């Protein structure tokens, strides 16, 4: 069974803290799922770099991940207020 990682993005996320782990994990053959806390799957980071996520967090059908990564930046404040993230 392959390892799985979830990266949760909110508007204003710190791009290097999201994109670097995505790159490294995928090179290591770890399955990475990128989720947005909002319905819009195109999330703009702190420096206006947009990332297309795989799905919205509320669409996630599994809760089994070996790692959950939450990038910093102004978007992190939105994450800690999200009932879906806290669940």
Q: What pLDDT, in 10s, does the model give residues 28-71?
A: 999 999 999 989 999 999 999 999 999 999 898 877 899 999 99
Q: What pTM was estimated for this model as a whole?
A: 0.89
The 10 Å Cβ neighbour count of residue 53 is 20
77 membership: H or E segment, kind and range: helix 75-80
Counts for the chain of helices (H) and strands (E), in that order: 3, 6
pLDDT for residue 83 is more than 90: no
From the candidate CATH numbers 3.40.50.300, 3.40.50.880, 3.40.50.2300, 3.30.160.150, the one assigned to the domain spanning 4-86: 3.40.50.880
Angstrom distance (rounded) from CA 6 to CA 4:
7
**Tokens standing for residue 20:** 């670097």
pLDDT for residue 9 is more than 80: yes
């Amino acid at each position: 069974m392959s390892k799985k990682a979830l990266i949760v993005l909110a508007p204003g996320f710190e791009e290097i803290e999201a994109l670097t782990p995505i790159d490294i994990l995928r090179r290591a053959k770890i399955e990475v799922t990128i989720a947005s806390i909002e319905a819009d799957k195109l999330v703009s980071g702190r420096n206006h770099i947009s990332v297309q996520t795989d799905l919205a967090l509320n669409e996630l059908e599994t809760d089994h991940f070996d790692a959950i990564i939450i990038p910093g930046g102004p978007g992190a404040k939105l994450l800690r207020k999200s009932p879906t993230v806290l669940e």
